[in-house]
Amino acid sequence: MTELKNDRFLRALMGQPVDRTPVWMMRQAGRYLPEYRATRAKAGDFLSLCKNTPLACEVTLQPLERFPLDAAILFSDILTIPDALGLGLYFETGEGPKFKHTIRSAADVDALPKLNAEVDLDYVMNAVSTIRSALNGRVPLIGFSGSPWTLATYMVEGGSSKDFREAKKLMYGQPEVMHKLLDHLADAVTDYLNGQIRAGAQVVQIFDTWGGVLSTWAYEEFSLKYMRKIIAGLNLESEGRKVPVIVFTKNGGQWLESIADCGADAVGLDWTTDIGDARARVGDKVVLQGNMDPTMLYAPPARIREEVGDILRRFGHGTGHIFNLGHGITPDVDPAHAGAFIEAVVELSPQYHQN
């Protein structure tokens, strides 16, 4: 077991004292980096890049070469599970992910195979172990999955959606079918994340990207319930150390107290929730992750620095904060502006961690 040279992120997730606020970015390995675009061109397309272990490792490490980040995140996609379940994932330029097959009936759900993540998604496990080895203890590695509800929306809609009409039609019209699908996906996600932990992931995050499109009761019933089930089924100890869990529901700030009760160690916040209010609501029950608006990275570096300072001030003194964007970094951001963001966290946060 390689000793971690920088465990600031893990210590903060445990609520332990740190010298400064740790920082990483959702989609930190991505299209805003010219070196990523070059590697993706070498791979041929996005899915080929995900399935090419050496290149997936290469792009995971690229942002760490540029910025003093406190974590690496596995380069993959949330839709690997539905693809492995036989739905036929493909990408169309300008239109995002699509599936050749959709789930619209009980028969469709019954036809889904049981996922064996270490066999059906062996390329992900290979990427995790390869990245972990290449990191050589530099920073912790985050593994991840989409939430059952978020995966289900893509599987029912056949791709991205603006109004989630088909997913909600199934949820409201045939709730028993949607529950059956979500239960199947919860089992798959549990197996997938446990596989990543065995392969070397030191933290796992559940991306509930579309939980925020639900009403309060529907969020509890069709999203949060299944994330609770997943967390309860994870083997959260590896290499003699606890493996923390982060849950991120975009547009879920109104349900913060319920999310904080789901068993996760940290709750990700998007930019629509004030982080100071969030801390007042949950205290030290969970660590908070976030939550600068990603589009703030279009602003001049001085304005970015000001925003970072304001978020740090709103959270206040002490541990329990992981700095991140409120969603993934957008593709046309200038890497220098991402650098200004991370530099501001590194330079401005130590004052909030002094005894």
State yes or no: pLDDT of 143 exceeds 90.
yes
**Is 31 labeled as catalytic in the residue annotation?**
yes
User: What phi-psi label fits residue 145: left (phi over 0), alpha (psi between -120 and 50 degrees) or beta?
Assistant: beta
**Is 123 labeled as catalytic in the residue annotation?**
no
> Among 7, 20, 32, 40, which one carries the catalytic annotation?
40
**Is 19 labeled as catalytic in the residue annotation?**
no
| pLDDT score recorded for residue 5 | 93
State yes or no: pLDDT of 1 exceeds 70.
no
| Strand boundaries in the chain, DSSP class E | 72-73, 89-92, 96-99, 141-146, 203-208, 237-238, 241-242, 245-249, 266-268, 287-292, 321-325
Question: Which tokens hold the place of 254?
Answer: 């109104």
State yes or no: pLDDT of 94 exceeds 90.
no
> Among 8, 120, 132, 154, which one carries the catalytic annotation?
154
Question: Which tokens hold the place of 250?
Answer: 């975009």
Alpha helix positions (H), 262-320: 275-282, 301-315
Spatial CA neighbour of 255 closest among 269, 244, 265 = 269
Delimit the domains of the chain by residue range: 8-353
> Among 27, 132, 228, 279, which one carries the catalytic annotation?
27
Number of C-beta neighbours around residue 237 at 10 A: 10
State yes or no: pLDDT of 171 exceeds 80.
yes
| pLDDT score recorded for residue 93 | 73
Question: Which tokens hold the place of 249?
Answer: 């529901």
Name, in order, each residue with C-beta under 8 angstroms of 70's C-beta and a sequence gap of 6 or more: 6, 8, 9, 22, 23, 24, 139, 140
**Between 336 and 91, residue with greater pLDDT:** 336
| pLDDT score recorded for residue 190 | 98
Strand 237-238 vs strand 241-242: parallel, antiparallel, or unpaired? antiparallel
Interior CA angle at 276 toward 271 and 279, to 5°? 105
Question: Which tokens hold the place of 324?
Answer: 């991140």
How far, in Å, CA of 218 to CA of 216, rounded? 5
**Is 279 labeled as catalytic in the residue annotation?**
no
Name, in order, each residue with C-beta under 8 angstroms of 283's C-beta and a sequence gap of 6 or more: none
pLDDT tens sequence across 278-312: 999 999 999 999 999 999 999 999 999 999 999 99
**Is 8 labeled as catalytic in the residue annotation?**
no
Binding site: which residues?
27-31, 77, 154, 209, 327
**Between 266 and 92, residue with greater pLDDT:** 266
Query: pTM score, two decimals?
Result: 0.97
Question: Mean pLDDT score of the chain, rounded to an integer?
Answer: 96
How far, in Å, CA of 198 to CA of 74, rounded? 14
| pLDDT score recorded for residue 96 | 83
Confidence of residue 325 (pLDDT cuts 50, 70, 90): very high
State yes or no: pLDDT of 92 exceeds 90.
no
- Residue 268: strand, helix, or coil: strand
> Among 77, 122, 183, 187, which one carries the catalytic annotation?
77
| pLDDT score recorded for residue 91 | 86
pLDDT tens sequence across 193-228: 999 999 999 999 999 999 999 999 999 999 999 999
Topology at the third CATH level for domain 8-353:
TIM Barrel (3.20.20)
Q: Which class for 134: exposed (0-12), middle (13-18), buried (19 or more C-beta within 10 A)?
A: middle
Strand 245-249 vs strand 203-208: parallel, antiparallel, or unpaired? parallel
| pLDDT score recorded for residue 95 | 72
State yes or no: pLDDT of 2 exceeds 90.
no
Q: Which class for 24: exposed (0-12), middle (13-18), buried (19 or more C-beta within 10 A)?
A: buried
Binding site for substrate: which residues?
27-31, 77, 154, 209, 327
Q: Would you give the distance in Å from CA 165 to the centre of its chain?
A: 25
